[in-house]
Structure 1
Amino acid sequence: MEFSHNDNNNLPLSKFESMLKTNNVLFFDSEEFENIIHHYLNQGKIALAKKAIKLGLSQHPTSINLRLFKVEVCVFEDKLIEANELLNVLYSLDPMNEEIFIQKANILSKQDEHLKAIDVLKKALELTDDVVDIYSLIGMEYLFLDSFEDAKTYFMRCLEVDIKDYSALYNIIYCFDFLEQHSDAIDYLNIFLDKNPYCEVAWHQLGKQYYELKKYEKSLTAFDFAIISDDSFVGAYLERGKVLEKLKRYNEAIENYSITLKLDDPTSYALLRIGNCYEKLQNDDLAVQYYYKTVHEDPLLDKGWIAITKFYNRKKNYQKALYYINKAINIDAENVIYWKLYSQINQRLNFYEEAERGFKKTLELGNYELNTWLSRGDLLIKLGELEAAVYNFEQAVEFYPENAELEYRLAGLYFALNESDKGTFHLKNGIRFNEDYGFIIEELFPEVANKILVKNLLKANL
């Protein structure tokens, strides 16, 4: 029994907590102790649960259920050897107690012995009348093993026993999704809905499956039924809005997202989508208002800052775009996308040193895309930092070892630095990898392109 502060069932709990404040030791029957411990464990108050277990066992030393609570706490605290020893004693006393097997399986699971945990749980199945919980535990063990078909089977058994077990339903759909079995998921959900036609969760999941298959009209219908089943289902309105966006019905999408703002606290996701819809409708004033609301609601949501930056970028208002991407970087200086946008905007403003700094930071954060190396190197060339550019491209070659764009750039740089042997080596590489990129020399190194050696090497491959 779970205690509630709104009824009289919490009298033993109040009595226990009152006792803790004094030195008086009061008597509780074993079931009261079980309820008190269960309450504290559910609340995450482990220290109080341990006190209740200790006192409970001092008053009821033969209680198997109280000792099982002690095992549960030991497992929680990773005292697995002690927990195993306690279970062995309890098994000798009560070998038909399914909870002993469940706790044993819990220990095996913590030790990554998931197949052994499953075997133990199957033994527990033979001893219990409450099979749903054990089916669910077996399903979870199969998930740990990435055995999604087996996991799906056991979660389905949960629903066969308890059609309202929506956590099992979510897990079943998770398995279908991971296996990319969207059509099979649709078939399963339709059979489930024949038995439970007002299950908003199932309609919601059905809509998401149709969405994955780009069957947007069917997806829309499923979300309609989810809302009919529960007209306060925020998730269904959000998903319905996504579908309407795909169908370019932006005003209707806005209506659905707006409903979620009234039903619950505003979410940055809904505000962002509304802003995006208004931008698609070319209502820039409202679009930017909602982008502002998005970043105000959740300053850590990178999609909000990216949206507002790209909005001003598209409008060629680069100063404002730069202002907002700087604000974003001040909040999260480790976000690669922010730094890439920062570099692109500075480049458009001809702030080459800042742009180069941004690309350098992007690389430092582990973004090794070819375009990042190329953009940074080209900026270093423009800034006259030829040796730094060489180092940049040499690093890039480690990631892209046979790339013509890098080789031509290195050739141009070495010739510009009067290192003709290295220049010749890289130019020959570039020609071998892709002779069509010879224009890079002319564009980035016009003086090098006029050298007789370079002209002859390029002409030889025309």
Structure 2
Amino acid sequence: MALDSNENSEKFVAKFEEMLKTNDVYFFDSEDFEHIIHHYLDIGKVSLGKKAIEIALQQHPGSAELRLLNVEVLVFEDKFQPAEKILNELQELDPHNEEIYIQRANILSKQDNHLEAVNMLLEALHITDDCYDIYSLLGMEYLFMDNYEMAKKSFIKCIEYDNTDYSALYNVVYCFEFLSDFDGAIHFLNEYLERNPYCEVAWHQLGKMYIEKELLPEALAAFDFAIIADDAFIGAYFEKGKVLEKLGKLNEAIINYEHTLKIDDPTSHAYLRIGKCHEKLGNDELAKYYFYNTVHEDPLLDKGWLAITEFYYRQKNFKKALHYANKATNIDSDNPLYWKKTAKIYLKLENYEEADFAFRQAVNLGNYELDTWQEWSFVLCKLKDFGAAEQVLLQGLEFYEEDAELLFIYSGVNLKLNNINEAKEKIAKARQLNPKKAVIFMKLFSEFSKLDWVKTAVKPNKKAST
């Protein structure tokens, strides 16, 4: 019985390794050496691959295929000059070998000269009928150049050669996504599915595109077809669960998430989603159980710690909420939302100094939401640091110049700093925008409430109160 290619490869590799151990010299033909070299390169044993190339070229110095494998290793190690020297020699002997152009393209790509790499690959296309690998390489070069339109076309060509190339399929959808062409992606995937109706990957991707278009019933149908094509497709159950959540069908969502736990080892993300569903259903004990399972499964999942934090925050158990917020920030100290949540907890605990620090971290990391500026300025006023409060408010007003609450607080801060004219100007503007927000002024700066002009400024007008 003839050996298949894998058995052949294993036989050659075993014989080669026996030769290395005994220091005997065995003869292999050039194709045998190609099997051996590819085996080592594929499993990442580059040093053994190089040893095999060295011995192979001693036995077959004129083999173009072996010399090209040598070039491949040299390029991998960024040894471009010796690689190009070999390629020049090979091109003189065989100017129509597309592999020479492919290796030249690899060198140019590694040197960040992607346009010339593309030109080399286009040259290779002209001289070969075996275009599949070249189109795949072209697609990657176009991605490096941020030319998503051409990358998409190249990967589509790969699929035309091999409709089971799911890597190319994912790349096509990625290009459509980056171009925000969700309609185009849906059209492409539907056409693909007409030819490959049992492709679970395509159904899964189609469902995700429908979500982007907020076509949730269509997304559900797509995920159902993905599950019909592969009833152990975890991703389809998970995405279906997320859609059911959005539709408010929380118990059905839980069933789908729980199904993923039965198919494979439990994941922290599934536990987290189940916990969120139970929380929305008011099943607090179950929600807490799944949130704790989330962090038990993956102690480094900051979203799990944050979910527990928010759970206790909503229950007004701020000390426990703070404990878990600190866990989240310790895991990901560069996440502004975690610092903001920590700041809000400190604010509830009236620990204004720590709240100030946490808000500062959140803003430094890029959180510029309105309530961040409002609450941070409130904290600074409580600390009586009116100079710092003024600077924070000025920053906030750059983003939200029409926010009445910021303007009312800014007016009070300027009164504290004895900037009367500035205070009068801003309080008048704030009253015009939303007189009801004057309550925050009275809360923070009640000592000015007896001033006649302040009484007029913070008094709700009849139109606003009706």
TM interval, shorter chain, is: 0.7 to 0.9
Q: Report the equivalent of 1:207.
A: 207
Q: Percent identity?
A: 55
- Structure 1 position 291, deviation (Å): 0.9
Stretch of structure 1 that moved more, 365-374 or 96-105? 365-374
Q: 1:242 to 1:410 in 2, by over 3 A?
A: closer
Residue 229 in 1 paired to residue 229 in 2?
yes
Q: Return the alpha-carbon distance in structure 1 between the equivalents of residues 405 and 325 of structure 2.
A: 30
Q: Return the alpha-carbon distance in structure 1 between the equivalents of residues 25 and 377 of structure 2.
A: 76
The aligned amino acid for 2:144 is F
Residues 294, 304 of structure 2: 8 Å contact kept: yes
Residues 411, 424 of structure 1: 8 Å contact kept: no
Q: Return the alpha-carbon distance in structure 2 between the equivalents of residues 389 and 194 of structure 1.
A: 62
The aligned amino acid for 1:28 is F
- Structure 1 position 332, deviation (Å): 3.0
Deviation sequence 1:286-345 (CA, Å, 0-9, x none): 111111111111222222222222122222232322222122233333332221111112
Q: Report the equivalent of 2:93.
A: 93
Q: 1:311 to 1:135 in 2, by over 3 A?
A: same
The aligned amino acid for 2:348 is R
- Structure 1 position 57, deviation (Å): 2.1
Deviation sequence 1:337-359 (CA, Å, 0-9, x none): 22111111221222323322221
Matches within 5 A, 1:319-334: 319-334=319-334
Matches within 5 A, 1:366-385: 366-385=366-385
SS in 2 for 1:299: coil
- Structure 1 position 170, deviation (Å): 1.5
Q: Report the equivalent of 2:141.
A: 141
Matches within 5 A, 1:8-27: 9-21=9-21, 23-27=23-27
Stretch of structure 1 that moved more, 170-179 or 98-107? 170-179
Q: Report the equivalent of 1:52.
A: 52
Q: 1:434 to 1:178 in 2, by over 3 A?
A: farther
- Structure 1 position 454, deviation (Å): 7.0
Q: Report the equivalent of 1:259.
A: 259
Q: Return the alpha-carbon distance in structure 1 between the equivalents of residues 428 and 83 of structure 2.
A: 69
Let me know the Cα RMSD of the aligned residues: 3.2
Q: Report the equivalent of 1:359.
A: 359
Q: Return the alpha-carbon distance in structure 1 between the equivalents of residues 372 and 247 of structure 2.
A: 35
TM-score by structure 2 length? 0.86
Q: Return the alpha-carbon distance in structure 2 between the equivalents of residues 200 and 213 of structure 1.
A: 20
Residue 424 in 1 paired to residue 421 in 2?
yes
Q: Return the alpha-carbon distance in structure 2 between the equivalents of residues 328 and 26 of structure 1.
A: 60
Q: Report the equivalent of 1:287.
A: 287
- Structure 1 position 363, deviation (Å): 3.0
Q: Return the alpha-carbon distance in structure 2 between the equivalents of residues 260 and 433 of structure 1.
A: 53
- Structure 1 position 122, deviation (Å): 2.0
Matches within 5 A, 1:149-188: 149-188=149-188
Q: Return the alpha-carbon distance in structure 1 between the equivalents of residues 81 and 16 of structure 2.
A: 30
Q: Report the equivalent of 2:70.
A: 70
Q: Return the alpha-carbon distance in structure 1 between the equivalents of residues 219 and 456 of structure 2.
A: 63
- Structure 1 position 398, deviation (Å): 7.3
Residues 403, 430 of structure 1: 8 Å contact kept: no
Q: Return the alpha-carbon distance in structure 1 between the equivalents of residues 21 and 411 of structure 2.
A: 81
- Structure 1 position 432, deviation (Å): 6.3
Q: 1:401 to 1:242 in 2, by over 3 A?
A: closer
Q: 1:446 to 1:152 in 2, by over 3 A?
A: same
The aligned amino acid for 1:424 is N
SS in 1 for 2:362: helix
- Structure 1 position 98, deviation (Å): 0.9
Deviation sequence 1:75-95 (CA, Å, 0-9, x none): 222233333232222211211
Deviation sequence 1:165-215 (CA, Å, 0-9, x none): 222222222222222222332222222222222111122222222222222
Q: Report the equivalent of 1:311.
A: 311
- Structure 1 position 100, deviation (Å): 0.6
Deviation sequence 1:357-414 (CA, Å, 0-9, x none): 2212223434344543442232122123334434544665777789876666455335
